[in-house]
Amino acid sequence: MKNWLYPQTVEAVEHACMLYMRGDLQTTDLQAALYKAENEIVAYEEQWLRSLLCDTENSIEEIVFTEASESQAASIKLLILNLLEKIK
């Protein structure tokens, strides 16, 4: 893992993402975890991470309201994989 200014926050995001991928976390709880992490990041050096979390959370919200419920999980999982790849 990188030398994060907020290592516990990044770990919490990764944990929430993995729980969601396993089916052990609801979409709303994943969004809440991303939102919480986004609000914990205040350092200028990691504003890109805050933006990434915000964009991911907003994209999940868009999926929830625009896609059929049968395809939501697959679309959200793609977003999560992209998020995890970018923070590794």
45-69: average pLDDT: 95
pTM of the model: 0.90
pLDDT tens digits along 1-55 = 467 888 999 999 999 999 999 999 999 999 999 999 999 998 888 999 999 999 9
Helix H, strand E, coil C: the string for 31-88 is: HHHHHHHHHHCCCHHHHHHHHHHHHHHHHHHHHHHHCCHHHHHHHHHHHHHHHHHHHC
Residue 9's pLDDT is 94
